[in-house]
Amino acid sequence: MAIDRNISSIKVPNDPAYIDGVLRYSEFIARRAGLTDTECSELCVALGEACMNVVLHAFGPEDEETYTVQFENLIGGVKVVIEEMGLPFTFNKESSEAEAPGLHAIKNNVDRMVFINRGKQGKKLILCKYTSGQHVSELFTDIEMKSYESCALEPEEREKLEYDIHLMTPEEAGEVSRCIYMAYRYSYLKEDLYFPERIVRMNASAQMISAVATIEREGGGTEVIAHFALLPALNRVVAEIGVAVTVPKYRGHGIMKAMLAFLIEHARVHSFKALYGNAYSMHRLSQKTNLKLG
């Protein structure tokens, strides 16, 4: 069975003496994920407060129980999940700082906080902390971000487009983020794709194998106009084909069809046994492509 090496967990006694050990391990995981010293410290503040809340409020003083802290390396961050089977309580995310100082200490030091009451299965607190990588909107000027807004030409108006398809280089990640923005603005589900550094990390760790289509720029250099990727499963035998995007004004040139053939051949050479794609109700092209491929 394949092991997800991005996930680890600790079972912790409900004794405050053990919290320091949890925080030391948390710092180790956070640094491996690329968090800065400040970001590591902020995560430790939030996690320390959350663990102390479990010890003080989830169990009685005479109870000898345990709770679980799970760590997951994200692309450009860390997710921490604290699970316990202690006393039920009312969680009010809108409480004032005076009413719930511990809750605010947690919320103010992470990027995302979610509480889940699972009834007989106990409670779960999810904390996410991300690196401060640059967002695509910080990398390009307003003019560059608007340069692809024109619609695709009608078939009879199109000229033959010369483009090259290859695996993405780290230097092209910023333009991949821009392609995502041009096609979807900020509606794309996978938020990591708006952060070039995360795209680079996903490819470096083989969580995503990105192919890009580029054209020659006037005056030299190349420009990324499309992206398509393999998303391997943990067993490295099966992969999803997805994250397909073409800059709007270059649609209709058969780029995705050519990129799909490139990815299928790459998967064959690297011994993948099967590929699959997800079809979305709001995305007719994904439906047509999946039907065509069977």
pLDDT tens-place string over residues 219-238: 888 999 999 999 998 878 99
Domain presence at residue 2: no
Q: Is the pLDDT of residue 245 over 90?
A: yes
Between 84 and 147, residue with greater pLDDT: 84
Range in 30-39, 146-155, 185-194 the model is least confident about: 146-155
Regarding whether 148 and 125 lie in a shared domain, the answer is no
191 contact partners, CB below 8 Å, separation of at least 6: none
pLDDT tens-place string over residues 272-294: 999 998 765 555 555 565 556 55
Domain presence at residue 19: yes
Residue 257: its pLDDT value, please?
A: 92
Task: Indicate the number of domains in the chain.
Answer: 2
DSSP characters for 154-197? PGGGPPP---EEEEPPGGGHHHHHHHHHHHHTT--S-GGGG-HH
DSSP-derived secondary structure letter, 227? E
Domain presence at residue 45: yes
- Contact predicate 274/238, CB 8 Å: yes
Domain presence at residue 276: yes
Domain presence at residue 267: yes
Range of the domain at 101: 7-130
The model's pTM is: 0.57
